[in-house]
């Protein structure tokens, strides 16, 4: 399995759902905006990456990731 570490900003709060199977798996969806280290001809400065987390990772995302404006 591959591992990637992204540093960015949440575009909105984490959307939490639970699966319809027998064990009701937690499912978290959110979008992460990650700045590019360079610009191409005045193009887009950030990439918007949709993320999905399952189980304990989803519960962690719901609890600790917040789109706060401090």
Domain ranges (residues) in the chain: 9-64
* pTM of the predicted structure, to 2 decimals: 0.77
Whether 31 and 56 have beta carbons less than 8 Å apart is answered as no
Among candidate residues 47, 56, 51, 46, the one with its CA nearest the CA of residue 30: 51
CATH class of the domain defined by 9-64: mainly beta
Assess whether pLDDT exceeds 70 at residue 68: no
pLDDT at 67: 61
Give the C-alpha separation, 30 to 21, whole Å: 22
| The residue count for the chain | 70
pLDDT at 53: 94
Express each pLDDT in 2-53 by its tens digit. 998 989 999 999 999 998 877 889 999 999 999 887 777 776 688 999 999 9
pLDDT band at residue 60, thresholds of 50, 70 and 90? very high
Give the C-alpha separation, 50 to 69, whole Å: 21
Q: Which two tokens stand for residue 24?
A: 């009701």
């Amino acid at each position: 399995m591959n591992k990637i570490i992204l540093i960015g900003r949440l575009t909105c709060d984490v959307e939490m759902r639970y699966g319809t199977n027998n064990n009701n798996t937690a499912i978290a969806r959110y979008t992460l905006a990650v700045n590019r280290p360079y610009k191409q001809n005045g193009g887009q400065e950030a990439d918007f990456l949709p993320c999905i987390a399952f189980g304990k990772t989803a519960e962690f995302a719901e609890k600790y990731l917040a789109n706060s404006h401090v």
